[in-house]
Amino acid sequence: MANNHRSDILFFFGVALALWVAYTVRDVLMLIYVSALFAVVLSPAIGVIQKIHIGSWRAGRGFAVIFLVLMLVLLGTLFAVFALPPVYRDARNFSADWPRHMTEMTEGIKHLPFAAKIDPAALQKYAGEIVGGAGGLFLNLAGGIFGLFTAVILTAYFIIDGDRTFKWAVSLFPLSHQHRLSNTLLKAKGRMRNWLIGQGLLMLSLGTSSLVVYWALGLKYFYLLAMFAGIANIVPIAGPISAVILSSVVALLDSPEKLIGVIIFFAIYFQFESVFLSPRIMRHTLNLSPLAVIIALSLGGSLAGVVGALVSVPTAALVMVLVDEYLVKRKPAAASATAAD
């Protein structure tokens, strides 16, 4: 009896220590989880590339990963070469005539509603605080770039060695449960991949809508702003906010009326997306109810900020598959038929 109590006490402290370590390195664990998640959703693209063959040569998984990364780098390079020069040229001209543009912007703001409540001294104070915090912003940006690079490396390794990692993780469970767990996780894997399809539809929707509205408003670089809005929409909360800020700044440099048009567009679109579009797309691609999607986004954002919101919906799909398999109780088919009679 004493040995049993001693084992229980040691097990309790072992679990407590493991939880404390997990909490301490929660940022690293989140990075690993996000990398594994994107490895799951990107695996179909890797599979398509692996079907390429020239004669007797076939593309391996490592080659497919490198090829996909190089294609993304090539697209980014082409975008920078053809899209950024006009932006740079206009920015240089704008900075050369900064005082006149600043005066025009100030006069335009005065005609906006509630502009009388804006305190110029307070704005200067906030601007000084922002400049003072530039060092911290640089450090955060450098840390973000390092984290992104690490995530890309981890994702590549998960894609290359994912099958062996999956089998090893399943082997940690009792033999009697491994087959059922493996099938359940494979089912969840297919549903989580559908998240990328749904998210791609949301990105396409915002990008296309922004392109039409920006073109109608006559914004400069409307195609670049629309492309940025669509791509940034993959990051919940922070992505749309950055798209609103960037397009608002460009609109304000032209006229206050264009700024009002941009704000009205985003106010209407995000209401439509959050209430109607996003829940229905996620329901059909992930088989999640709109309520589950909203709850998942709220919990993910509260627990882990932007990254948590990004992975909340596919994580909800994983949790729902596990709950459906292990917790939901169903009547046997024979008993159900008898009860119906």
Where residue 265 falls among pLDDT bands split at 50, 70, 90?
very high
Among the ranges given (20-29, 105-114, 164-173, 202-211), the one the predictor scored with the smallest mean pLDDT: 105-114
pTM of the model: 0.65
Contact criterion met (CB below 8 Å) for 59 and 52: yes
Indicate the average pLDDT of the chain.
75
Stretch among 99-103, 145-149, 248-252, 286-290 having the lowest mean pLDDT: 99-103
| Distance from C-alpha of 60 to C-alpha of 38, rounded to nearest angstrom | 19
CA angle, residues 332, 334, 338, in degrees to nearest 5: 115
Position 297 pLDDT exceeds 80: no
Higher-confidence position of 260 and 276: 260
Which of 254, 35, 273, 266 minimizes the C-alpha distance to 158?
35
pLDDT of residue 138: 45
Greater confidence (27 vs 112) lies with 27
For residue 139, is pLDDT > 60?
no
Q: What is the mean pLDDT of residues 278-283?
A: 76
What pLDDT digit, counting tens, does each position of 194-215 carry? 777 788 888 899 999 999 999 9
Q: What is the pLDDT of residues 94-121, one digit of tens each?
A: 566 555 555 555 655 555 555 555 555 5
- Give the pLDDT mean for 173-191: 85
Identify whether the C-beta of residue 111 lies closer than 8 Å to the C-beta of residue 256. yes
**Is the model more confident about 89 or about 59?**
59
Q: Are strands 53-54 and 57-58 parallel, antiparallel or unpaired?
A: antiparallel
Nearest C-alpha neighbor of 198 from the set 283, 291, 310: 283
Query: Quick check: 168 pLDDT over 80?
Result: yes
**pLDDT, position 131:** 42
Res 6 pLDDT > 60: yes
Residue 187 pLDDT > 80, yes or no? yes
b/e burial code for range 233-269 (CB count within 10 A of at least 16 → b): beebeebbeebbebbbebbbbebbebbbbbeebbeeb
Q: Tell me, rounded to whole angstroms, the distance of Cα 97 from its chain centroid.
A: 38
Domain ranges of the chain: 26-103+134-172, 176-329
Query: What mean pLDDT comes out for the span 113-139?
Result: 49
Q: CA 302: distance to chain centroid?
A: 15
For residue 49, pLDDT over 50 is answered with: yes
- Give the model's pLDDT for residue 18: 81
